[in-house]
Structure 1
Amino acid sequence: NGKYGFYVKCGKINASLLGDQTIETLNLEEATKLIDDRKIKMGQKATKKKGVKNKEKVKATKNN
């Protein structure tokens, strides 16, 4: 709880929660989106989402 309300922090980036959000209802995806939006607003690149590698996809399909 900061001077201007609740916020999420990732490294040096702070992103304020929106008016209808609370700590109890915030999930990881929403927090990540808030951080990414804040990074873009500050002129930084958003965090890339990590995907499954091709080898892992092939192994998963062979086992099924």
Structure 2
Amino acid sequence: MLIVPVKDGESIERALKRYKRKYDRTKVLRELRERQQFTKPSVKRRQEILRAAHKQRMQQENEA
């Protein structure tokens, strides 16, 4: 459970924004979406390799 202490004179909107940021950093929502359907380890690995290749290609284009 996340706890966000509200400081004196702090608006609720500001505290809510801090809560949302803290929640996003826990990656709960991302994990929930991943668990909705099973992905075979071989498919995960293939996607990681494709992402890495794309990332490397983009870096090489920016350097040139």
* TM norm structure 2: 0.29
Between Structure 1 and Structure 2, the one with more strand by share is: 1
